[in-house]
Structure 1
């Protein structure tokens, strides 16, 4: 049984792709991009591996709507066997949905550039099963305060160097206009953040889901502290 190093799964997600989505965050990343919001997912703990079938069972149990599944991390492609099993299982689940169900796309975030991902037969097999990938390392200086650059929209991207690469007809329909800048009118819908509060054995944790602009998180912490709320340990600082 294939195990996935899982950091978090959440529904609904409305900030990492079009529509209402399920989000799966993997655990483990050696890229360590400066300014990464998700430093808490860098360390891989094999003790926290979960069967891919358990993640697929969670997806199948969601009440809906589910317009897509976003897989992020961590670095999903650093556990290619588990990622392949997960994406394959999502495709099988998608194929078994009612005919009148809304199309469901699979989007994967990666810190690797697309040219590197496409060179390997192992990762090409995964890409062939996805609808889109957002590829490239996060570069803090290329994450401006605004939402547009000369290269087009920053919707769903952390920095301007990253590429949205559609990989299927559905991917080209949903993601192609954004990458070319023709979907800039959707900027009012994002990027933005959503908040998730989880109760666990270590107490209450607050998760911010989405892609902030540079400086947004420090501004948030300052605003909370002025209101008398102390943020405590945060994942985006060393």
Structure 2
């Protein structure tokens, strides 16, 4: 709420953002847009995205900026939202999802959301329940390294993939058998060249990636999967 009781519009709600990316082909069916929230206190042992843990206020943007980015993309089959932990920014997450629904209109693309909280906890909380109702499918539960069973869309066997809508059931009732896919992306920025992955790696994938980079003469500095 702003001064004098004025309500902040959805587009003005701030969101701590780790990154956005298009196209994403590793986290859900088809060609997708990916949005990663910044900040997570769950700190699952073995997490390969520790760079998304700090609540870095230097990455704050208004939700409208993310929606403008989506609006400039070619048609997509879906939007995947992950983190970080999106439910630790519930107001921003709800505003973003409402904006995506307006942008989607009558087009058929799905919204897949990842959370480290178990689905029963999310379903019990009214605010979280309202957010779930804006999604087509949710992958819920903490990552447990010893339970990593190679599932295409889940990091470990304890996590649940829950379809929330008819479209979600159509696309996610069966997780598929294509195996895990990984994208490796290179981004040039003010602090130099950054290599990052999209997807859920199989055991040993990150060591193999490091070996390939070393063989190409690319010396990795700080790596999130080694912290």
State the TM-score, normalizing by the size of structure 1.
0.87
Residue 128 of structure 1 corresponds to which residue in structure 2?
A: 133
In 1, the alpha carbon distance for the partners of 2:118 and 2:158 equals 9
Q: Give the root-mean-square deviation of aligned CA atoms.
A: 1.3
Residue 18 of structure 2 corresponds to which residue in structure 1?
A: 7
In 2, the alpha carbon distance for the partners of 1:35 and 1:57 equals 34
Aligned to 1:82, the other structure's residue is in SS state: helix
Deviation at 1:226, TM superposition (A): 4.4
Residue 225 of structure 1 corresponds to which residue in structure 2?
A: 214
Residue 3 of structure 2 corresponds to which residue in structure 1?
A: none
Q: How many residues align?
A: 216
In 1, the alpha carbon distance for the partners of 2:213 and 2:148 equals 23
Kindly indicate whether residue 174 of structure 2 is the aligned counterpart of residue 177 of structure 1. Answer: yes
Q: Deviations over 1:150-175 (max 9, x none)?
A: xxxx1111111111000000000000
Residue 4 of structure 2 corresponds to which residue in structure 1?
A: none
For 1:38-77, what aligned pairs fall within 5 Å after superposition?
A: 38-64=49-75, 66-77=76-87
In 2, the alpha carbon distance for the partners of 1:121 and 1:52 equals 22
Deviation at 1:109, TM superposition (A): 0.3
Deviation at 1:76, TM superposition (A): 0.3
Residue 203 of structure 1 corresponds to which residue in structure 2?
A: 192
Q: Deviations over 1:181-226 (max 9, x none)?
A: xx33xx2xx4111111111111110111110012211232134334
5+ residue gaps, structure 2, are 1-11
Residue 112 of structure 1 corresponds to which residue in structure 2?
A: 117
The one of 53, 75, 83 equivalent to 2:93 is: 83
Detail structure 1 runs of 4+ shifted over 6 Å in the superposition. none
5+ residue gaps, structure 1, are 148-153
State the TM-score, normalizing by the size of structure 2.
0.91
In 2, the alpha carbon distance for the partners of 1:233 and 1:37 equals 12
Kindly indicate whether residue 153 of structure 2 is the aligned counterpart of residue 156 of structure 1. Answer: yes
Q: Deviations over 1:48-106 (max 9, x none)?
A: 21000110010011023x000000000000000000000010011111xxx5x4x1111
Deviation at 1:4, TM superposition (A): 0.5
Deviation at 1:228, TM superposition (A): 3.8
